[in-house]
Amino acid sequence: LKIIEEGKVKIKFPDFDKVSSDAPVFYNPKMEFNRDNSILALQAYQKEVDREINICDLFGGSGIRGIRYKKEIEGVGEVSVNDISPLANEFTRINAELNDVEVNIDQKEANIELRTNMGLFDVIDIDPFGTPSPFVDSAAYNLKRDSLLCLTATDTSCLSGTYPEPCIRKYNAKPYKSEYYHENGIRIIIGFAALTLAKYQKHIEVKMSHSTEHYMRVYLKIIKGSKATDKSLKNIGYISHCKNCLYRTESHGLATSVPDICPECGEKLVTAGPLWLGPIQNKEFIESMIEIADEKELNTKKKVLKLLNSCKMEADAPATFYDIHKICRSLKISAPKLDLVFDKLKENGFYAVKTHYSPLGIKTDASSRELIEIVKELAEEVENK
Ligand code: SAM
Ligand code: ZN
């Protein structure tokens, strides 16, 4: 057996060589960051609704997530930890006792757990192996007014456009590979969730989302009402992209026409979607998470705060971003310092912020043509010095 410490808990599980779905009971130390950030998000959500919240940790593994939620979040009522594996359940029992917390333990297939406990949870956390897509419909059925849906996806290669077919199969959406593929992936997951929820007259407000290492994570608040749901679906649409000149454009609406040819250079455009074009970061919610971080003991706090501050800045930014190296490669020039590009964009009256997706990323309302001009000018200035 192995025992580890994370947050305020100690967790035991059978030792294994390599983190994989073959481990007898799943525990991934790399996900501590995801769990730390989740604690802040769930606490911010609890503060927002200002009542006791019941949580469902649908894929419990060692129980670490649910046990940490119970121990480290204030205002938590019941926590249900579910896992199809009897051994995982056994360890959740051992770990709950070890940490002196009470959780309900269920051993059901995730969809059955959700279908048979409709409306019982304020938070449903879906942290499966790979894709959450086969469980979103049951969550959509289960979730009540003002509840919170948290989704982790580790099938990032399909969402990023490396393998389009599995993305179409799992998320009913077409991806493409570009400098902002992680963000497109997040927008595909959210779009898929929004369309699934719409069947149940529910729609979403995205509270926070991030792409970190090998996974993507989204926090969605559920709102009810058919009319408002219809309106919210205007946030579903497509992004079309020119691989030649980096032009990109959005088309709103599910059954809408999308442009085929780049208006800048005449090349054929590639299109991703349907995906979520609405906001994917909520400034007030993220500010609340940042404030709450002060009160919590988290090993990854510094890294979490860096992410949160970046996501907060991205809240008002456009849906895609540029990569300075990619621009310079296509222009066959050496890259100017990123900060100079930001200064110049702002000098010219454009909006420009960095992004957590990439250290080379620039989120701006300048068009690709305008940005390329600025980069060229800067490169010339550097050369002439
Ligand atoms: N949330 C955990 C954490 O933070 O450490 C990790 C969960 S692990 C990625 C996925 C777990 O889901 C495994 O323990 C596995 O036994 C369980 N599982 C896989 N398929 C399932 C299903 N259809 N229904 C319920 N549990 C399932
Ligand atoms: Zn073009």
Any idea which residue has 């701006």 for tokens? 364
**Is the Cβ atom of 31 under 6 angstroms away from ligand 1?**
yes
Comparison of pLDDT for 20 and 281, the residue scoring more: 281
Each residue's pLDDT tens digit, 132-186: 999 999 999 999 999 999 999 999 999 999 989 999 999 999 999 999 999 999 9
Q: Give the DSSP letter of residue 335.
A: P
Each residue's pLDDT tens digit, 50-91: 999 999 999 999 999 999 999 999 999 999 999 999 999 999
The answer to whether 272 and 238 are in contact (CB under 8 A) is yes
Q: Amino acid letter at 272?
A: A
| Ligand 2 centroid to residue 23 C-alpha, Å | 48
Mutate to test the pocket of ligand 1, among 38, 55, 64, 83 (most ligand atoms within 8 A of CB): 83
Tokens of 130: 């790979």
**Which residues have C-beta under 5 Å from ligand 2, the single-atom ion?**
242, 244-245, 247, 262, 264-265, 267
- Average pLDDT along the chain: 96
Place 383 in a pLDDT band, splitting at 50, 70 and 90.
confident
**E strand map for the chain:** 2-6, 9-13, 53-57, 76-82, 104-106, 123-126, 148-153, 202-212, 215-224, 236-241, 248-252, 270-276, 322-323, 352-355, 358-364
Task: Please name the residue whose Cα sits nearest to atom 10 of ligand 1.
Answer: 128
**Is the Cβ atom of 150 under 6 angstroms away from ligand 1?**
no
| pLDDT at residue 360, rounded to an integer | 97
* Mean pLDDT, rounded, for 217-225: 98
Residue 321 and residue 323: Cα distance in Å, rounded?
A: 7
Q: Residue 119's Cα: distance from chain center in Å?
A: 24
Tokens of 218: 């989204």
Comparison of pLDDT for 140 and 16, the residue scoring more: 140
Residue 190 and residue 182: Cα distance in Å, rounded?
A: 13
Each residue's pLDDT tens digit, 264-279: 999 999 999 999 999 9
ipTM: 0.98
Residue 285 and residue 289: Cα distance in Å, rounded?
A: 6
